[in-house]
Amino acid sequence: MPPMNTKRDGAPSQESSSFALPVVSDRPAAAPDAVGEALEHAAANADSAEHGYGQSYWRSLEEKLGTSEYMEESRPEFPVGADLPPTGFIRREFMQLLGASLALAGATACSTRPADEKLLPYTKTPPEVTPGNPLHYASAMTLSGHTSGLLITAREGRPVKVEGNPDHPVNQGAACTFEQAWLLSLYDPSRARVLRQGKTPRAQRVLNETIASLVGKSASENGGSRVRFLTEAVGSPLTSDLRNHIIKKLPNARFHSASSNQDTQAETLRTLFGGQHVAALYDFSQADIVLSLDADFLESCPGNLRNIREFADRRDPRKGKLNRLYMAEARFSITGGMADHRLRLKSQEVLGLAAAVAQAIGGSAASLAGAAAAKSPLRGELGNWVQAVASDLRAAGPGRSLVIAGERQPAAVHALAHAINNALGNGDKTVRYIQAPIAEATGMSEVRTLVQDIEAGRVDTLVITAYNPVFTLPDDVGLGKVLSKDHPARARLNVLYTALYEDETSAHVDWFIPAAHPLETWGDGRSVEGTVSIAQPLIQPLFNGMPESELLAMFLDEPFRPAYQLLRDYWRGQTANAADFEARWESWVAQGFIENTASNPVAGSPDFGAAASLVAGYTPPASGDLELNFVNDYKVYDGRFANNSWLQELPEPITKMVWDNAALLGPDTAKALNLAPGDMAELTYNGQKLTVPVWVVPGHADNTVTIALGYGRNGLHEQVAKGVGFNVNPIRTSKNPWFDGGATLTKVRGSYKFSLTQTHWRMENRPIALDMPISELEHPSTETQHTLHRVKGELKPGIQDNLVDFDYSKGYKWGMAIDLSRCTGCSACVVACQAENNIPVVGKEQVGRSREMNWLRIDRYFEGPENDPKMVMQPVMCVHCEKAPCEYVCPVNATVHSDEGLNDMVYNRCVGTRYCSNNCPYKVRRFNYLHYTAGKTATEKMLMNPDVTVRNRGVMEKCTYCVQRIERARIDARVNKHLIKEADLKTACQQTCAAQAIVFGSLNDENQLVTQLTEDVRAYKLLHELGTRPRTSHLIRVRNPNTALEPAKAATKEGSH
């Protein structure tokens, strides 16, 4: 039996050499006839047969260019190797083994009764538990200082699904990719289990005694002046209280807050508000015009969910006038994909752009702009853009626009953004300044101070609770160096480190303390807008982890209190009236947060005079050669989710790459450097060299290269993360941690095989993901009318009704509507589906053969010129055709229709012919080529949703519209004798979508939102002309371009071929 393929396979094609696999890159250079074929292909695609749809869409650069490589790959419908038998598993051997086991079975199977199963009752059933029914508990997750409110589903004590807490002000029911996939790490068998000193396992008591003696000694000797703590940014009231108590005990000890993010926004606001800790909150619901200066505010991050919801509401023509988003950025981001006008430029040019806009706006902004413009001159050709944006911002009126700067940008850009907002009168309207939930300086400079102290021999004891700082920080910060065995200062240093995994940092420490997963312990934290969440555990620690709060409490040298006690004691102390604490505490824990704890507005207004120093203090990075950009990854963040196979296998929203990072380039730059996707190149930067694989992304700014952080992990036991991608932190510097010029890329020998979900299952130049300017929808041109006719026209009887009609007018008629205007493509729904439906992870090699199992995919289309295209995201899952092509080809009736219009998949009938998948025009069916769920450890099995079958090898599967949720809601409703209410039934993808792009319900109820959306003017059915009558509608995405920059109709034919 092959092991579960959660592991990336480094050399997929070579491994299967016994099957004489044709490897594209090994072929000789394209022969003349291949070129001719490519031209023919391009010509065929450009022919008039399809030209009526206005725009032509393409899903990958190879497809767009019709290159010979692309031709090679596209000639067979499926990628190379898709039809091969599984490797490492020889069929003949399998038959032999099968024969042997059958013989043995024959010898023993005298009874057909399966082996006895045991039923284990509770000794005393907990009062809240009804075995078989799920329970929901409010809890919380903290990521980069923001604590979000979650609602976690538990089945008989096992947490199985993370959703957003519907009552939490930021989440409002939604959850991002990280929050959901976080649950997988709870059950991760590679988590650390052993508390050790050096290589010797120790009891917790020994640790406790060691710390107690250390605290006692250093308190009396020097007040703890030789003790340092390195923590994450502390948003938790309990942790800051513990910190204050430790400082009382050890007055000279120092706390440093590490962060892989240089928090320039906080730094800027501190300067603007005279040293106060201030945070800015944005209100996208009021902003008609938004200018984003490299701010990826729609990224699927816990703190962004409110942004996403408010922004999406402003993209929906049903909710009134559309907003307009201008975006200036280097790489193509999720937010860039939502922009009406996206400007590609180097990250270092953003300052110049901000300055030009500030100058054009005038007022308080203009004074800063002069100095900034000198540091980053603006290219002349961008003047037009700046003028258009500035006049649009002004025209919106006071308090109706918003300028937002990205976290990768220096403080100078943030200062300009705030100044422009101030000049536009956005203060207190679309921008609100509140007291920061994290009231401390954080960032690399803090770590740098610590390293200097260590180097100078001023530190004896270092306690690290921050996430893996040796890996996440640039090497030149020097933490890894001072912690390594041969550093002279290391000998006298005693390092304690607590983490979930034995990672890069743990290799250097003296004491390693396995941490309790936050879902195993009590805690608290504050959200971006200040609301305090109480995090309760869902399960006892699985691997003997110790909560961070208990570890810190050891330094108080007090009698042991468990995390629960610490938290309760702290909050009891915060409650004025101790008498009603018990009742309040119960309600806080039950609802998951403490109401009315949002941060107060800041008194006073920003002082832009002080901001001049930020601009003056800014040193522009080198501008020559390539600009090297570093970004936190959409999937593994700074590396902390690298051991999470759900996220590793999640297609990156833009590149659709899985299990890898790459040096991303724009097409023109790649051409100039003679680099093609999959080439290896040597990256030279700052005197250092790194060999990296290259990938080309349309729309990436010229002369820039973007590399995601968090890959190339080398932790001791992080089995999933190990060796996936490459690590750029060794060449990153703390001076310019996010972008810097002066890098070069040179092609070197070798190629790299990426696995992408992108080019599989193309939709061949048909009107699939529609988008158009809102004006075009209101006054359609002939071309648009043609398109609309094709996707919405009447179906011809006798031709497009190949199955008998069924009367669906009674009862429920399930249907779904997906609004492409709202969808950002953030992929939270993909993770939700994976968690809800027990979808296996298959590994890089299998994805390379188009065997990914995600039921829900997000297709990302580009349109327009490949250097500067627009992007459309389109979630596609089974559309539940009323006349489903899959059904009439199944020889065993394993996929059949339900009376409510569901296209049911019956796993136990399926024999794996795959005819259904061949006949499905939407390519939404997934086949278990291997037994992907075999070899799960006992803890991993606990994660499975017991309401959904865990599929075996050789079975077809696909989206069921979450039929298990329908049936549960139905039974609940029928037991209570009412109809299923719209609010009581949500599919997993719909439930988690912050943008509310997915709506599900019964089309027989005209009051349900799904019915209204299905009848909306924008609604259309995918591949309508086939007559499959899908139950899922997609809603045309509308754009709101500025006519000054994009005259109506200008873009319709551009770039098609």
Partner 1 sequence: MSRLSAAALLAVPAIGIGGLMAYVRSPYVTNQQMPIEQPIEFDHRHHAGDEKIDCQYCHWSVDKAPSAGIPSTTVCMSCHAQVWNKSPYLTEVRKAFFADSPIQWVRVHNLPDFVYFNHAIHVNKGVGCASCHGRIDQMGAVEQFAPLTMAWCLECHRNPEPHLRPSEFITSMTWTPPSDKAEAIALGEKLKDEYDVHSRTSCSTCHR
Q: Decide: is 949 part of the binding site for partner 1 (CB under 8 A).
A: yes
Binding-residue total with partner 1 (CB under 8 A) = 40
Round to whole Å and give the CA distance between 242 and 518. Answer: 17
* Binding residue for partner 1, selected from 902, 930, 999, 1013, defined by CB under 8 A: 902
Residue 400 vs residues 294, 325, 431: alpha-carbon distances, Å: 20, 13, 10
Nearer Cβ to partner 1, position 597 or 949? 949
Q: CB atoms < 10 A from the CB of 953, how many?
A: 16
Output 905-908 pairs: Cβ under 8 A, ≥24 positions apart. Answer: 905/956, 905/957, 905/958, 905/960, 907/949, 907/951, 907/952, 907/955, 907/957
In this complex, which beta carbon is closest to partner 1, that of residue 52 or of residue 134? 134
Amino acid (1-letter code) at residue 182: W
Binding of residue 948 to partner 1 (CB under 8 A): yes
Q: At its nearest, how many Å lie between partner 1 and the CB of residue 1031?
A: 14
Of the candidates 418, 812, 321, the one whose C-alpha atom is nearest the C-alpha of residue 612 is: 418
Minimum Å distance from CB 950 to partner 1?
8
Note whether 122 binds partner 1 by CB under 8 A. yes
CB 62 within 8 A of CB 69: yes
Q: Smallest gap, in angstroms, from Cβ of residue 875 to partner 1?
A: 22
User: Among the candidate windows 458-466, 560-568, 783-791, 906-914, which touches partner 1 by CB under 8 A?
Assistant: 906-914
* Residue 736 or 838 with smaller CB distance to partner 1: 838
Q: First and final CA of the chain: distance in angstroms?
A: 48
Q: How far is the CB of 108 from partner 1 (least distance, A)?
A: 16
Residue 512 near residue 716 (C-beta atoms within 8 A) = no
Q: What is the DSSP letter of 596?
A: T
- CA angle 44–46–47, rounded 5-degree value: 65
Kindly state the smallest distance separating residue 972's Cβ from partner 1, in Å. Answer: 9
| Minimum CB distance to partner 1 smaller for 439 or for 969 | 969
Using an 8 Å Cβ cutoff, are 791 and 1026 in contact?
no
157: contact with partner 1 by CB under 8 A: no
From 14, 17, 101, 133, residue interacting with partner 1 (rule: CB under 8 A): 133
* Side chain identity, residue 912: G
Q: Which of 906, 969, 1023, 1045 binds partner 1 (CB under 8 A)?
A: 906
Q: Is 120 among the residues that bind partner 1 (CB under 8 A)?
A: yes
Tokens of 513: 């303390």
Residue with smaller CB distance to partner 1, 7 or 155:
155
| CA 841 – CA 188 distance, rounded (Å) | 14
Which is it for the CA torsion 130, 131, 136, 138, positive or negative? positive
Exactly one of 37, 904, 1005, 1025 binds partner 1 (CB under 8 A); that residue is 904
Closer CB to partner 1, 590 or 971, in the complex:
971
Residue nearer to partner 1 on the CB measure, 120 or 578: 120
Q: Which residues pair with 281 in a beta bridge?
A: 432
Length of the chain: 1057
Buried b (16+ CB within 10 A) or exposed e, 188-202: bebbbbebbbeeeeb
Judged by CB under 8 A, the chain residues 970 through 1029 that form the site for partner 1 are 971, 974-975, 977
Shortest spacing between CB 894 and partner 1, in angstroms: 9
Q: Is residue 960 close enough to count as binding partner 1 by CB under 8 A? A: yes
Among 14, 17, 125, 746, binds partner 1 (CB under 8 A): 125
List Cβ neighbours of 119 (8 Å cut-off, separation of 6 or more). none
Q: Is 839 in the site for partner 1 (CB under 8 A)?
A: no
Q: Closer to partner 1 at the Cβ: 120 or 203?
A: 120
Instruction: Specify the residue, 263 or 947, whose C-beta has the smaller distance to partner 1.
Output: 947
Give the integer Cα–Cα distance in Å for 419 and 611. Answer: 9
DSSP letters along 140-162, please? Answer: EEEETTEEEEEEEEEETTEEEEE
* Run of H or E residues at 684: strand 679-685
> Which tokens hold the place of 1021?
């059915």
What does the alpha-carbon distance between residue 1018 and residue 849 come to, in Å, rounded to a whole number? 35
Give the residue with the Cβ less far from partner 1, 569 or 899.
899
**Binding of residue 127 to partner 1 (CB under 8 A):** no
| Among 14, 17, 101, 130, contact with partner 1 (rule: CB under 8 A) | 130
User: Considering the rule CB under 8 A, would residue 117 count as an interface residue with partner 1?
Assistant: yes
Query: Taking Cα atoms as reference points, which of 175, 142, 140, 137 lies closest to residue 533?
Result: 140
Q: Cβ of 724: how many Cβ atoms within 10 Å?
A: 23
Q: Binding segment for partner 1 among 106-114, 655-663, 752-760, 823-831 (CB under 8 A)?
A: 106-114
- Out of 210, 964, 1012, 1042, the residue judged to bind partner 1 by CB under 8 A: 964
Q: What mask of x and - would describe binding to partner 1 in positions 779 to 818, judged by CB under 8 A? A: ----------------------------------------
Q: For 504-547, where are the alpha helices, taking DSSP H only?
A: none
- Quote the CA–CA distance of 1033 and 476 in Å, as a whole number: 52
Give the residue, chosen from 200, 596, 908, 1007, that forms a contact with partner 1 under the rule CB under 8 A.
908
Crossing angle of the two packed helices 563-574 and 237-249, in degrees rounded to 10? 90
Name the minimum Å distance from CB 948 to partner 1: 6
Q: Around 394, how many Cα atoms within 13 Å sit in the side-chain half-sphere?
A: 14
> Is 900 near partner 1 (CB under 8 A)?
yes
In which residue are the tokens 């650069």 written?
A: 61
Of 47, 83, 764, 967, the residue at the interface with partner 1 (CB under 8 A) is 967
Q: Does 619 bind partner 1 (CB under 8 A)?
A: no
Q: How far is the CB of 971 from partner 1 (least distance, A)?
A: 5
Q: Find the shortest distance in angstroms from Cβ 127 to partner 1.
A: 11
Does 75 sit near partner 1 (CB under 8 A)? Answer: no
Q: Rounded to an integer, what distance in angstroms lies between the CA atom of residue 256 and that of residue 760?
A: 48
Binding test (CB under 8 A) with partner 1, winner from 106, 132, 687, 797: 132
Does 248 help bind partner 1 (rule: CB under 8 A)?
A: no
- Give kind and range of the element (H or E) at residue 904: strand 903-905
Instruction: Name the segment binding partner 1 (CB under 8 A); options: 130-138, 280-288, 382-390, 659-667.
Output: 130-138
- Where along the sequence are the contacts to partner 1 (CB under 8 A)? 112-114, 116-125, 130-133, 896-900, 902, 904, 906-908, 947-950, 960, 963-964, 966-967, 971, 974-975, 977
